[in-house]
Structure 1
Amino acid sequence: MAKRASFDDKLAAIRRLRDQTGPEPGDVPALRKALGDRSNFVVAAAAEVAGAWRLAEVAADLEAAFARFLIDPIKDDKLCRAKLAVVQALEKLEHPRAEVFEKAAAHVQMEPAWGPPVDTAPPLRAAGLIGLTRIDTPGLGAALVDALLDPARDVRSAAASCLGAIGSDAAALVLRFKCRIGDDEPEVLSEALRALLAIAPDDHMPFVREFLDARDENRCEAAALAMGNARFPQALGPLLDRFQTANSQTVRETLLLAVAMLRASAAIDALLDLVADDSEATARAAMDALKIHKHDPKLVERLADVVARAGSPTLQARFAQDFPPPARPDLIL
């Protein structure tokens, strides 16, 4: 009698599949068997492989796994590991059936914790909303409006992003209303503002600028990051103007980070000019913003030249710490 594979053996077998670029003979049946396993860890790993390989032929197996882990979810699928992996895999497959996504978008899973029970399903609800938006199911608008009031920040952010993807006038009006009433989490407000810029940047830029120019630091930072995430080149001027009037060092740093996020050549040039500024605080903030581009050798070379010409030992030490030269492969033991 063949020895039954242990939990570790099953996971190891799936990890081997993960290292492949696609299925080899016998891999699809093995993956189907793994998707039928009772362990949510095994199913989650198998679903990840199915999504990576774009295996549409196992979509029914993924749906069956999702339904199975809904029966006793707290006992069988803590933290929604399997269900989330299944939904993400179906999204990669561009699965056309809405049923799993609808159930995912509505699922709440209150699990025991120190103190009150904790809902572990927000990432699952967010993933469900993304799938429903792609399919464009009937009643989608109402579902997204309701999700803007979800207790979980991740779900509210996903709803705002999905409304931006819809891109209709009605979606824009909902997003504007959400921005007006605000949110306890700046990340949600920022995503709603970014979604507006995604719908029609020229039309909604004046509205977003209202938040950028606000005295409230959270609103200002939310708008700045929305502009940066939208990569809207015309945002460079407003961001730099607001930088000149901002008093809070935290806000000034966020504004320069948003400039760096634009990834436009004019934005990079502006930050390099600020590194050469007489104010060392401004120079440090600009250098910190440029750290998101530290893997760009041409930019690092330009920054090194600016820092050298500035002649500040503090900036030179900061540059050496934050922009170390890449390790030479021939020197790695």
Structure 2
Amino acid sequence: MKWLELHIDTNHSGLETVEALLSSLDIDGLVIDDEEEFQDFLENNRQYWDYVDEDLEKAMRGRSRVTFYLPADETGFAKMGEVRIALEALKQQRTDCGTLLMTLEDLEDADWENNWKQYYKPMEIGERLLVIPQWLQEDPKVKALLSQGRVPLILDPGLTFGTGSHATTRLCLTALERHIRGGERVLDLGCGSGILSIAALRLGAAEAAATDIDDKCLTVAYDNAALNGIGADTYTVLVGDVLSDETFRTRVGGGYQIVVANIVADVIKALAPMVQSFLAPGGLFLCSGIIDDRAEEVAAALTAAGLEILETRDAEGWFSYLCR
């Protein structure tokens, strides 16, 4: 089936008016892009990142846009005509809603469902791991690599939250590959998709626990674990904040041979004093997500917390530390 993707450009103050107009025409399921809300979101959640992609900021600059979809048939074109008439009337009534320009794109169902998949390919990481998008398991190249002894790590990239493509994730996966000997208990703080803890289990860890403050990660991580044949008998995902919730920290427990945190500098600095409470004697703490201009201050915080930095690695402007 074909669809019409329609965009109405407005401004921040006009968004509510345009939404109401479309709702009055029985058009719901809107997608809202708004620079002001985007900037507010960034400002109020700065503790969760040190870097925001410039292309994303550029794409949002000056944008207040409402996107909606109609079937590309007689009914849809008739409804589009209704919207045009209503927009013209609105332009006469209001001068504070921006351009109210409506633009159109044609889409096939397949565009929505499959086109994004072309951006994901199997990834060889380190000497052993092979990250495989779920739909490429039968790909001849994948089978050839697996026949050479690569360990498969199957993910559904559509679930986002970490796919192995980012330098910080690759740094962590490579370190896990080197230091998982078999039989370890692993803790993944800020697990996202679960890629690091699931990889640890695929590499031979006996059990893993994963935590995140975002409850959506609960489903995502368990779903990715299931793709790899990993069940709740060896894998536990918990939702909570180890930094602020002492009860939750107790629930997470300790005695882990490896603790990994691929987060951001500020969170790693805050974690540093409590890392020892999670680790077994002689255990390792692996952290990444540290942009280069903050690497020294994170290293200082780790050292001040009594951790010895054993390895420092970097890639594409990002750092990782392996500590004991």
Question: TM-score normalised to the size of structure 2?
Answer: 0.29
Question: TM-score normalised to the size of structure 1?
Answer: 0.29
Structure showing the higher helix proportion among its residues:
1
Structure showing the higher strand proportion among its residues:
2
